[in-house]
Homo-oligomer: A and B are copies of this chain.
């Protein structure tokens, strides 16, 4: 394999959603008269809201006239959107950061994948288990792992922070030294949210160990319980240890429109890293590998952060949270043990009767036509669980829960 990056060759195929689709198709072929009800993927289903659509139409009109046309924007994002982000954090979270600390991107997935490029291949990386696969996969490509280990259902070399019912799916900071910790709250897939005290333990750890926290807050708008932090910067001192990644996907329906942001505070420092360096390097990274997010999407983002836009988007999140509540109550009534679904769009359900994730997936599909996501696809600790997603039209959610109530 002369010229190929060996780290890429370590990377397993990502079979989870392919395998879900394969099994679903097979079942449909065998049961042509039965209805499939998909509660698997975390894909938004509700339309963009009026204020956002209007802003994007307006931008599109501007792009169609010679006097208002604009070409390349700044790689870091347009000034008005960066200012709107800074204002939004001040207004809603009392977090005061400079607009230049906000980097606009084409979505949280890109940033979550790319951020590791700033760090040495020798860095020790900790991830929650289970977790969104991009944190692990991108670090495999970055050379921070060993080979795939089928006992761990992941790669050697990572520190896995186990999330289980015993710790309320909120792991403690690692016992050993690590350099980088990925955290995601509200968590995908478990739906768990961390309290200020729990987050503070990670911030304290990072300060002590001179480590960096990469905090994925893509589901922050689903938090409705008072007192639960929406951003890691609500924790004192977090600006000196944490990078935060966020997105317009799940709160404004931009999954297909593509827009996100990453905050790299000027204040971050770490082992051998003086203040300002990480900010400067991420800036250089974006200027080299990226040419800015779509200007149409960015206009939509500014509208989404306006008072009116926030109100509309809250309505959209309410809708999905309403779905989550229907799922949670329905599943609980059947007697299943489940978590999340309150400050999160995901309901993390323990498979009944000791079934494995895939066994329960098949069982549920056969009995009810409902498709969920096997928890084992998110890591070893996900075995024995499934993730149920509240992204869907209300009538489908209700139909799925009715089916489950009747058939199980």
Residue positions of A touching B, CB distance < 8 A: 1-6, 8, 11, 13-14, 41, 43-48, 50, 53, 56-57, 60-61, 63-66, 69-73, 106-107, 109-110, 113-114, 117-121, 123, 134, 137-138, 141, 179-180, 210, 212, 253, 255-258, 270-273, 277-278, 281, 284-285, 287-297, 391, 393
Which 3 A-B pairs have CB atoms at the shortest separation, nearest pair first? A113-B289, A71-B255, A2-B271
Interfacial chain B residues near A141, Cβ < 8 Å: 117, 285, 288-289
Distance between Cα atoms of A114 and B288 in the complex (Å): 10
Distance between Cα atoms of A179 and B257 in the complex (Å): 37
Distance between Cα atoms of A71 and B63 in the complex (Å): 24
This chain: copies in complex: 2
Chain B nearest CB: distance from A255 CB in Å? 4
Interfacial chain B residues near A270, Cβ < 8 Å: 2-3
- A288's closest neighbor in chain B, by CB? B137
Interfacial chain B residues near A109, Cβ < 8 Å: 289-291
Instruction: Indicate if the CB atoms of A110 and B57 lie closer than 8 Å.
Output: no
Distance between Cα atoms of A271 and B2 in the complex (Å): 6
Chain B nearest CB: distance from A60 CB in Å? 5
Distance between Cα atoms of A11 and B285 in the complex (Å): 10
Partner of A289, one of B43, B118, B138, B271: B138
Instruction: Indicate if the CB atoms of A14 and B284 lie closer than 8 Å.
Output: yes
Interfacial chain B residues near A4, Cβ < 8 Å: 118-120, 272-273, 277-278, 281
Distance between Cα atoms of A137 and B289 in the complex (Å): 9
Interfacial chain B residues near A277, Cβ < 8 Å: 4
Instruction: Indicate if the CB atoms of B2 and A120 lie closer than 8 Å.
Output: yes
Distance between Cα atoms of A392 and B398 in the complex (Å): 56
- A112's closest neighbor in chain B, by CB? B289
Interfacial chain B residues near A41, Cβ < 8 Å: 72
Listed residue (A53, A72, A118, A288) with the most chain B CB atoms within 10 angstroms of its CB: A288
Interfacial chain B residues near A284, Cβ < 8 Å: 8, 11, 13-14
Distance between Cα atoms of A1 and B285 in the complex (Å): 17
Distance between Cα atoms of A291 and B119 in the complex (Å): 23
| A118-B5, A119-B4, A294-B257 known; A46-B66 Cβ under 8 A | yes
Instruction: Indicate if the CB atoms of B289 and A114 lie closer than 8 Å.
Output: yes
Distance between Cα atoms of A21 and B290 in the complex (Å): 21
Partner of A118, one of B8, B13, B14, B180: B8
Distance between Cα atoms of A179 and B5 in the complex (Å): 13
Instruction: Indicate if the CB atoms of A295 and B3 lie closer than 8 Å.
Output: no
| A71-B43, A256-B72, A257-B296 known; A110-B3 Cβ under 8 A | no
Instruction: Indicate if the CB atoms of A212 and B256 lie closer than 8 Å.
Output: no
- A64's closest neighbor in chain B, by CB? B53
Instruction: Indicate if the CB atoms of B3 and A212 lie closer than 8 Å.
Output: yes
Distance between Cα atoms of A47 and B107 in the complex (Å): 26
Distance between Cα atoms of A256 and B3 in the complex (Å): 34
Instruction: Indicate if the CB atoms of B258 and A3 lie closer than 8 Å.
Output: no
Distance between Cα atoms of A321 and B3 in the complex (Å): 40
Partner of A63, one of B3, B47, B288: B47
Distance between Cα atoms of A212 and B66 in the complex (Å): 41
Interfacial chain B residues near A289, Cβ < 8 Å: 109-110, 113-114, 134, 138, 141
Q: Could you name 28 residue pairs across A and B whose Cβ atoms are closer than 8 Å?
A: A2-B179, A3-B123, A3-B179, A3-B270, A3-B273, A5-B120, A5-B121, A11-B284, A14-B284, A14-B287, A14-B288, A45-B71, A46-B66, A47-B66, A48-B60, A53-B61, A57-B57, A60-B60, A69-B253, A106-B294, A109-B289, A138-B288, A141-B285, A141-B289, A256-B294, A294-B296, A294-B297, A296-B296
Interfacial chain B residues near A256, Cβ < 8 Å: 63, 70-73, 292, 294-295
Distance between Cα atoms of A150 and B80 in the complex (Å): 38
Instruction: Indicate if the CB atoms of B45 and A64 lie closer than 8 Å.
Output: no
Partner of A72, one of B63, B123, B255, B288: B255
